[in-house]
């Protein structure tokens, strides 16, 4: 692993008209590097901040000027002791498309790896949980110089399939524009509950955030929600479930899960959107799936099957093989 971008090892406090708390001074000094006051306090508590002539410093220590502050923050710790292996579906000099397995998060739940050197985030415990980002940093150290470490879009942790990552800054911005302008064609496979009334159709239902017992989930909003459009086509019908292809035209959080639940056919294995609630928490459609039936599925039955887009006059198509769960006859 190459060395990460370093924070300054020494900081000389200039003469101050008014004494400042140590944590306040360091926060102002390190603000351009994305270091918050909360992080500064953690640095101090971990013993990573030292001051000439003092054996121990605290956040409320007053600095007046001329003090020499030393930062002994580890920034070269290994990001993961065990190498990760992910299937690469397509790669060129600017991007890589991988097959993300179900159960692997795209990036840490903490935002720290995007604010400070990832190895420092690792030291603070923000990268303990393996993620796609861990794999990126193991295999592409130059991603440190790419915005958001090359993460262009994401898949839900329990979903699987094709995920695009940028290896260079110019392509990162180009990829964002491609997704925003719907220049990337996405095809998902989903196993949903029940038999749909129509063989194909379009779901056009807005999506908004809603708050339940302090947690944030997404919900259908007929008025005021962000535009969300999904096309679908039924491919196979089984006794209690159906296999469908989904073609999202927008990329809202949990869009496919919400839209299928709103249609009355939640995605199998979905532990959250068994039925859709409005912004006020009122049921819109459907009943919760029977517990015995739910137990048949140990994962979210949603798979990002294909990504397709134009690049340098050529059509790039990446297909993620169907997981074994999608090959069963239900």
Predicted confidence at residue 217, as pLDDT, reads: 77
H or E element, residue 285: none
Label residue 125 by pLDDT band (50, 70, 90).
low
pLDDT in tens, 243-289: 999 999 999 999 999 999 888 899 999 988 876 444 444 444 455 56
Lowest-confidence region among 30-34, 133-137, 151-155, 180-184: 30-34
pLDDT in tens, 315-326: 999 999 999 999
What average pLDDT does the chain have?
A: 85
3-state secondary structure of 230: strand
Identify the top-confidence range among 73-87, 129-143, 237-251.
237-251
Neighbours of 110 (CB within 10 A): 15
Q: In residues, how long is the chain?
A: 330
**Residue 283: Cβ-neighbour burial (10 angstroms; 0-12, 13-18, 19+):** exposed
Cβ neighbours of residue 93 under 8 Å, at least 6 residues apart? 167, 168
Predicted confidence at residue 42, as pLDDT, reads: 85
Predicted confidence at residue 227, as pLDDT, reads: 92
Q: Give the mean pLDDT of 103-116.
A: 76
How many helices (H) and strands (E) are present in the chain, helices listed first? 8, 16
Q: List the catalytic residues.
A: 156
- Under DSSP, the state recorded for 257 is H
C-alpha–C-alpha distance, residues 58 and 56, integer Å: 7
Domains (ranges, CATH) in the chain? 10-71 (3.10.290.10), 77-181 (3.30.2350.10), 183-320 (3.30.2350.10)
pLDDT in tens, 175-190: 999 999 999 999 999 9
């Amino acid at each position: 692993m190459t060395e990460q971008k370093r924070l300054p090892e020494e900081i000389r406090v200039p003469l101050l008209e008014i004494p400042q708390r140590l944590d306040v001074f360091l926060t102002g000094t390190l603000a351009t590097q994305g270091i918050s006051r909360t992080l500064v306090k953690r640095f101090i508590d971990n013993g990573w901040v030292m001051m000439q002539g003092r054996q121990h410093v605290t956040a409320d220590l007053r600095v007046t000027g001329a003090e020499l502050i030393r930062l002994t923050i580890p920034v070269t710790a290994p990001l993961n002791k065990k190498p990760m292996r992910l299937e690469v579906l397509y790669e060129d000099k600017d991007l890589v498309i991988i097959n993300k397995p179900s159960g692997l998060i795209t990036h840490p739940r903490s935002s720290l790896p995007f604010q400070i050197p990832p190895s420092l985030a690792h030291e603070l415990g923000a990268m303990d949980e393996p993620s796609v980002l861990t794999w990126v940093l193991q295999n592409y150290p130059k991603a440190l110089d790419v915005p958001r470490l090359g993460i262009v879009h994401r898949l839900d942790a329990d979903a699987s399939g094709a995920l695009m990552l940028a290896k260079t800054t110019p392509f990162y911005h180009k990829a964002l524009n491609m997704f925003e302008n719907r220049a990337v064609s996405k095809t998902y496979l989903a196993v949903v509950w029940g038999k749909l009334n129509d063989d194909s159709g379009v779901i056009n239902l807005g999506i908004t955030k809603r708050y339940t017992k302090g947690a944030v989930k997404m919900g259908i909003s007929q008025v005021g929600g962000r535009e969300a459009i999904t096309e679908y086509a039924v491919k196979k019908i089984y006794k209690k479930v159906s296999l469908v292809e989904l073609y999202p035209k927008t990329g809202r959080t949990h869009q496919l899960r919400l839209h299928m639940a709103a249609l009355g056919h939640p995605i199998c294995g979905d532990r959250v959107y068994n039925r859709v609630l409005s912004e006020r928490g009122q049921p819109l459609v459907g009943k919760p799936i029977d517990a015995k039936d739910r137990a048949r599925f140990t994962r979210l039955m949603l798979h990002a099957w294909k990504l397709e887009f134009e690049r340098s006059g050529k059509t790039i198509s990446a297909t993620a093989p169907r997981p074994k769960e999608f090959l069963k006859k239900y």
